[in-house]
Amino acid sequence: MPDQKAARRIVDIMTGTWQAQALYAAVALGLADHIAGGRTTDEALAAATRSDPDGIRRLLRLLTAMDVFEEAAGGYRLTPTGELLRAGAPHAMGDLVRLYGEEFHRAWGAVVPAVRSGTSGFQHAFGKSLHTHLEVPEAGAKFQRAMNAGNVFFPEVLDAFDFSRRDLVVDVAGGSGLLLGTVLRAHPHLRGILVERPVMVPVARAHLDAVLGTGRHEVRAGDAFAGVPAGGDVYLLSRVLQDWDDDRCLTLLRHIRRALAPEGRLLVLERVVPDGGEALLPLLYDLHLLMAAGGRERDLAGYRALFAAAGLDLASVHTLALETSLLVAAAAR
């Protein structure tokens, strides 16, 4: 007789993507916004989304079992999970769900050729790299909105590192400026420079102007692999190294080492693969990075080796939310 527990485990793993796609459907159809707006019944939601009533009922039944919605007074209401799917809600994650349900879902469909070749699943699925895809303004903006939705750990950086005696913070490949804005808003004495691809410069400038005003920050278009602004006493790399192989990472880290002030620090935010691989989320993201960009997560030994080759020492490690880590590096003595 087969091991029933093992068989159930296979079924649970196998159907996990169905839950992910049901969540994506909720975002694509705007169900959380419709429910928040008072359209709470199967019929009202079917009409609002121009969907088949039976299909909507079955989708909502599954989403209710998944604790995204809950039944209430003949209809549905949002759970705390569902609240995160509303457009414009604090810490909304709908853009992240959309990216994972569309581009990344297709990239994972190429998992076998990606593993066999070591080339990203995105490349196999779309015929181009993720980084090339993101040069299209609409795609780049969509990606950055999604990344912002997953940055719930940024405020924890303020508690993990003392910025009080620093002056200039340089955010390398800093996206829309959310991390730099978080740091500079909490420490009014700081100045900041953000370096990004040209397509992201207007987005980052608009965000930083909105949260900081003008005069304390500068947004520069540039290729960080060609060089970074000199003189910063804090450099930020948030989920950048994960996208690249060791050679490219070393190029970037050596640029930062040369630019780093004598007592400066490099702050790296990444998921670190723990010894023994007992934590699932970093391992999932490690394979996801192969699917998405041909990148990888690394263990602490891997980061120490990269830092050492670039003339840096790993000074401290701090645990943040969502199994993310803050690695603080200094110039090697």
Backbone CA torsion sign across 117, 118, 123, 129: negative
In the block, residue with structure tokens 């002056």:
167
Residues of the chain predicted below pLDDT 70: 1, 277-278
| Beta bridge partner(s), residue 162 | none
Decide if 323 contacts 271 (C-beta within 8 A). yes
pLDDT for position 136:
87
pLDDT for position 175:
92
In the block, residue with structure tokens 């080796």:
305
SS3 228: coil
pLDDT for position 109:
97
Distance, CA of 134 to CA of 283 (rounded, Å): 25
b/e map of 155-189 (b: 16 or more CB within 10 Å)? ebbeebbebeebebbbbbbbbbbbbbbbbbeeeee
| Beta bridge partner(s), residue 78 | 69
Report the amino acid identity of residue 6.
Answer: A
Decide if 323 contacts 316 (C-beta within 8 A). no
pLDDT for position 278:
67
Instruction: Identify the CA nearest to 66 among candidates 97, 17, 7, 22.
Output: 22
Instruction: Identify the CA nearest to 191 among candidates 205, 162, 171.
Output: 171
Distance, CA of 134 to CA of 142 (rounded, Å): 9
pLDDT for position 146:
84
Distance, CA of 333 to CA of 322 (rounded, Å): 33
The pTM of the full predicted model, rounded to 2 decimals, is: 0.88
Helices (H), the chain: 4-14, 16-28, 31-36, 42-49, 53-65, 80-83, 94-101, 103-108, 111-117, 121-126, 130-133, 137-149, 154-160, 178-186, 201-212, 246-259, 280-292, 300-309
Distance, CA of 57 to CA of 307 (rounded, Å): 53
Distance, CA of 316 to CA of 168 (rounded, Å): 21
pLDDT for position 111:
97
Total length of the chain: 333
Pairing of strands 234-238, 191-196: unpaired
Instruction: Identify the CA nearest to 322 among candidates 193, 70, 147.
Output: 147
b/e map of 102-135 (b: 16 or more CB within 10 Å)? ebbbebbebeeebeeeeebbbbbbbeebbeebbe
Distance, CA of 285 to CA of 273 (rounded, Å): 9
pLDDT for position 141:
84
pLDDT for position 277:
58
